[in-house]
Amino acid sequence: MAFLKVVPLEKALEVINSFQLEPKIESVPLSEALGRVLAEDVASPVDVPPFDRATVDGYAVRAEDTFMAGESEPVRLKVVGEINAGDTPTVELEPGESVYISTGAPLPGGADAVIQFEDVDREGEEVIIYKPAYPGLGVMKAGADIPKGKVLLKRGTRLTFKDTALLSAVGFSEVKVFRKPRVAVISTGNELVLPGEELKPGQIYDINGRAIADAVRELGGEAVFLGIARDNRESLKALIEKGIECCDIVLLSGGASGGIRDLTSSIIEELGEVKIHGIAIQPGKPTIIGLINGKPVFGLPGYPTSCLTNFTLLVAPLLRRLLGRESEVRKVRKKLAHKVFSVKGRRQFLPVRVEGEKAVPILKGSGAVTSFVDADGFIEVPENIEILEAGEEVGVTFFG
Asked if 254 touches Mg ion (CB under 5 A), the answer is yes
The site partner of 106 among Mg ion, ligand AMP, none (C-beta below 5 to 8 Å per kind) is: none
Query: Minimal distance in Å, beta carbon 261 to ligand AMP?
Result: 7
**Beta carbons of 354 and 335 less than 8 angstroms apart:** no
The dihedrals phi and psi of 269, each to the nearest 5 degrees, come to -65, -40
Strands (E), 268-343: 273-277, 288-292, 295-300, 331-336, 340-341
The site partner of 303 among Mg ion, ligand AMP, none (C-beta below 5 to 8 Å per kind) is: ligand AMP
Residue 257 or 370 having the CB closest to Mg ion: 257
Query: Minimal distance in Å, beta carbon 240 to ligand AMP?
Result: 15
Q: Which residue is nearest to ligand AMP (CB)?
A: 302
Query: Order of strands, edge to edge, in the sheet holding 75-83?
Result: 113-116, 58-61, 97-101, 75-83, 126-129, 120-123
Q: How many residues bind Mg ion (CB under 5 A)?
A: 3
**Beta carbons of 232 and 166 less than 8 angstroms apart:** no
Residue 27 or 232 having the CB closest to Mg ion: 232
Query: Minimal distance in Å, beta carbon 210 to ligand AMP?
Result: 9
The site partner of 243 among Mg ion, ligand AMP, none (C-beta below 5 to 8 Å per kind) is: none
Cα–Cα nearest to 40, from 25, 53, 52: 25
Query: Minimal distance in Å, beta carbon 180 to ligand AMP?
Result: 23
Asked if 284 touches Mg ion (CB under 5 A), the answer is no
Query: Residue 67's Cα: distance from chain center in Å?
Result: 53
Residue 255 or 377 having the CB closest to ligand AMP: 255
Half-sphere exposure of 183 (CA within 13 A, CB side): 28
Helices (H), 208-322: 208-219, 233-246, 260-271, 304-310, 316-322
Which string of DSSP letters, residue by residue, matches 232-256?
SHHHHHHHHHHHHHH-SEEEEE---
Q: Which residue is nearest to Mg ion (CB)?
A: 189
Q: Three-state SS for 270?
A: helix
Residue 188 or 397 having the CB closest to ligand AMP: 188
Query: Minimal distance in Å, beta carbon 193 to Mg ion?
Result: 13
Query: Minimal distance in Å, beta carbon 369 to ligand AMP?
Result: 8
The residues facing 336 across adjacent strands are 359
Taking every pair of Cα atoms in the chain, the longest distance, rounded to a whole number of angstroms, is: 98
The site partner of 33 among ligand AMP, Mg ion, none (C-beta below 5 to 8 Å per kind) is: none
Query: Minimal distance in Å, beta carbon 177 to ligand AMP?
Result: 31
Asked if 290 touches Mg ion (CB under 5 A), the answer is no
**Beta carbons of 278 and 287 less than 8 angstroms apart:** yes
The residues binding ligand AMP (CB under 6 A) are 187, 189, 191-192, 204, 206-209, 253-257, 301-304
CA–CA separation, 245 and 51 (whole Å)? 53
Site string for Mg ion, 175-214 (x = CB under 5 A): --------------x-------------------------
Query: Minimal distance in Å, beta carbon 334 to ligand AMP?
Result: 28
State the residues that interact with Mg ion by CB under 5 A. Answer: 189, 254-255
